[in-house]
A = this chain, B = another copy of it.
């Protein structure tokens, strides 16, 4: 049988066998098509969430479903905003619907463990609504449990301390910055242009949002915080920790069946 982690490369017969024999977790990566400065590609969020999902799946015998490649609308403070060319986003209803449908379908397969692996900050609450509505559709007797996570929440303070020698400034401005750039250098070095690093940032935002967005609050490069200390070694350190700790989370999170 095909031992790949990628669900879309399995025949339905092999997938069914896996589901019935092993009750594997299926990981559904969710990304975005969003500006990540001049040095990282538009697809960074989907590439990273699927990469850590694949590493995790390899550790626990799981599978990775096809990535949702279009995310919720980019916001100035976390992704630069919707005014950038190339950022290609969906409305809330679309993302909610996509996740709701996925929950219903994976439950029909007989799956009991679905993991939504989010790689784009703006997606979070629409994933929650999609899961909630999907489980409502299934009714109270469903056997499916859904775990939802942002992969960067599995980085420990120790590791962040190693990566940021001058102190971790927080996740707030880490868009197209050291964490994402380092992980891209680890997973997809050929897609990173270190020669085009922007000096922009750190961006400074007031404690409120304005709509229509104030585009002049955001550096023209789209980079909210400098990525200049990024390297592949840091990327590997982060990626390995995330995958290892996500694997542990899958083991403990699904230990109990539905209450």
Contact = CB atoms under 8 A, between A and B. Distances in A.
Q: How many copies does the complex hold?
A: 6
Contact of A8 (B42, B73, B245): B42
A89 B12 CA distance: 14
Interface string A90-108: 1111101110111001101
Interface residues of A, number: 91
B147 A66 contact: no
A12 B222 contact: yes
Contacts of A98: 70, 90, 94, 98
A208 B85 contact: no
Interface of A: 6-13, 15-16, 19, 33, 35-43, 46-47, 65-70, 72-73, 75, 82, 84-94, 96-98, 100-102, 105-106, 108-110, 122, 124-126, 128-129, 131-133, 135, 145-149, 153-154, 191, 193, 196, 206-212, 214-215, 222, 245, 249, 252-253, 258-259
